[in-house]
Amino acid sequence: MNFSLTSEQLEYKNKVSDFASANFGGSYVKQDKDCLFSRADWEKCADFGLQGLATTKAYGGSTDDVSILTATLAMEGFGYGCRDNGLPFGLSAQMWTVQYPILTFGTEDQKKKYLPKLASGQWIGCHALTEPSSGSDVFSMETSAKKVEGGYLLNGTKRYITFGPVSDVILVFVKTNPKLGKWGMSVFIVEKGMKGFTAGPNRPKMGLRTVPFGDLFFEDCFVPEENLLGPIGAGWAITNSSLEHDRCTILAGQLGAMEHQLEETIAFVKQREQFGKKISQFQSVSNRVANMKLRLETSRLLLYKVAWLNSVGKSSMMESALLKLHLSENFVESSLDTIRNHGGDGYISENEIERNLRDAVGGVIYAGTSDIQRNIIAKLLGL
C-alpha cells in the first residue's frame, strides 16, 4: 500500500492552494450576508484552468486525460486556500455534473458547442435533477418529455438547483418512459432563452450562500432532437457516471477547509489566555483540537482511498458511502468544536468562524443525505 503523492501531484496541489489563497483568501462577510455570487471569481478559476480539469484539451479543457486523483488534490488545495466554501462547491457541481456527463455522453457537436464555453467560464451550467416531490427519492420525478416533430416538449418543475438562477445551460432529467421508473429517465440540454423555460430567483439558504440555488420551470418547453444527451433512457447512467468524481472533489474542498480550520484553531488557542494561562492548556480545549485532527486525518484517508480506487477503475460503492457520511458529518462536528474553542468570538459572524458550520450543514444533505449513506452501507453489508 502506498498513499504517498508524487512530487508533481503535491506541486500542483500547492499551486492551486496558493492561487486560491491569493485570490480568495480574504473576507466573505458581505458576499455571505447578501448571498452574492461573483462571476469574476468564477472566471478567475476558469482562467487558472480549474473548470478545465473536467474537460479534455480537445474541447477547451486543461488536461489530456480527466483524472479524478488530480481533481481531488486540486480541490483539496483550493478548499484550503479559499475562504468561501461556496466557490469550490459550485466548481465541483458544474465540473462533474454538467461538463463530465457532456464529455462522456455527448455527441461531437454537443461537446464542441458546450464544453469550451463551460471550461472557459463564459457559460455556467447546472444539473437539474431534484423536484418538489423527489428529493432523496430522486427518481420518482414528474418532469416529463413528450415526443413531437423535431424534438420534445418538456413540462415540470425542478427544485433547489445549484446555479439554477444563473445558468446558461441546463441538463434536465425527465421521464420519457414512466412505466420503467428510474430506468425510463432521459436527459436534455436546455439553454437559457429557450421558449417555455424560466429560472426562478436565488433562494437564500443557511450556508453556501455565495452559490445561487433556485427552481426551474418548464412549460411546453420545446427542445430540439439534437439536444438529447446520450440515448433515450440514459438518465440513470448519466447521473451515476460522475457521482464519485463529484463526491470526491466536493468533499476534497471541505477537507481543505477543515485543515485550514484546524490550523487557525491551534493558533488561536495557543495565544488566547483565560484564568492566567493559554486556553490550549485546558484539556477540554486541547481534547477538542485532538478530535479535530483525528476527524481530518480519517476523512483524508477515506477520500484518498475513494479517489485512488476510482483512478484505477475499481468499484468504491462502500468506500464512497463511508466517505460521504464520515467527512460531511466530521466537518459539522469540527466546525462546532471550532466555535466552542473560540467562545464568543466564534459566534460572531464578522469574525468568519461560524460560517464554516453553516456551510458544513449542507454537506449532510446534498448529494445523498447521511441517512441515505447509512442505508447504502447497511444494504451493502447484507442487512
Partner 1 sequence: MKDILLKYINEQFQADDPIEAQDDLLGEGILDSLGMMKLILFIETEFELKVPPQDMTIENFMSIDDMATYISNRK
Is 183 among the residues that bind partner 1 (CB under 8 A)?
yes
Is 305 among the residues that bind partner 1 (CB under 8 A)?
no
CA–CA gap between residue 19 and residue 333 (Å, rounded): 28
Of the pair 241, 280, the CB lying nearest partner 1 is at: 241
Of the pair 313, 344, the CB lying nearest partner 1 is at: 313
The one-character DSSP state at 138 is G
Of the pair 139, 217, the CB lying nearest partner 1 is at: 139
Min separation Cβ 107 and partner 1, Å: 12
Residues 119-148 interacting with partner 1 (rule: CB under 8 A): 139
Min separation Cβ 304 and partner 1, Å: 21
CA–CA gap between residue 279 and residue 90 (Å, rounded): 37
Q: Give the number of other Cβ atoms within 10 Å of residue 252's Cβ.
A: 29
Looking at the DSSP bridge assignments, the partners of residue 175 are: 144, 185
Per-residue cell: 182: 428510474
Of the pair 26, 181, the CB lying nearest partner 1 is at: 181
Site track for partner 1 across 87-106, x = CB under 8 A: -----------------xx-
DSSP letter string, 197-239: EEEPPP---SS-TTS-EEEEEEEEEEEEGGGEESSTT-HHHHH
Q: Judged by CB under 8 A, which of 18, 31, 67, 182 binds partner 1? A: 182
Alpha helical stretches, state H, the chain: 7-24, 29-34, 39-48, 68-81, 86-94, 100-105, 108-119, 235-241, 243-271, 283-311, 317-342, 344-347, 355-363, 370-380
Residue type, 321: A
Residues 318-377 interacting with partner 1 (rule: CB under 8 A): 376
Interface with partner 1 (CB under 8 A), residue total: 24
Min separation Cβ 263 and partner 1, Å: 38
Min separation Cβ 241 and partner 1, Å: 4
Positive or negative, the CA dihedral 366, 356, 251, 246 is positive
Per-residue cell: 243: 457521482
Min separation Cβ 377 and partner 1, Å: 10
Of the pair 210, 241, the CB lying nearest partner 1 is at: 241
Per-residue cell: 120: 472557459
Looking at the DSSP bridge assignments, the partners of residue 157 are: 217
Exposed/middle/buried for residue 34 (C-beta within 10 Å: 0-12, 13-18, 19+): exposed
Min separation Cβ 186 and partner 1, Å: 11
Min separation Cβ 202 and partner 1, Å: 31
Q: Which stretch binds partner 1 (CB under 8 A): 18-26, 188-196, 252-260, 310-318?
A: 310-318
Per-residue cell: 318: 462502500
Collapsing DSSP to helix, strand or coil, 158 comes out as strand
Residues 228-287 interacting with partner 1 (rule: CB under 8 A): 230-231, 233-234, 236-238, 240-241
Q: Which stretch binds partner 1 (CB under 8 A): 28-36, 159-167, 178-186, 334-342?
A: 178-186
Is 184 among the residues that bind partner 1 (CB under 8 A)?
yes
Of the pair 8, 109, the CB lying nearest partner 1 is at: 109
Residues of this chain that interact with partner 1 (CB under 8 A) are 104-105, 139, 179-184, 230-231, 233-234, 236-238, 240-241, 313, 315, 317, 376, 379-380
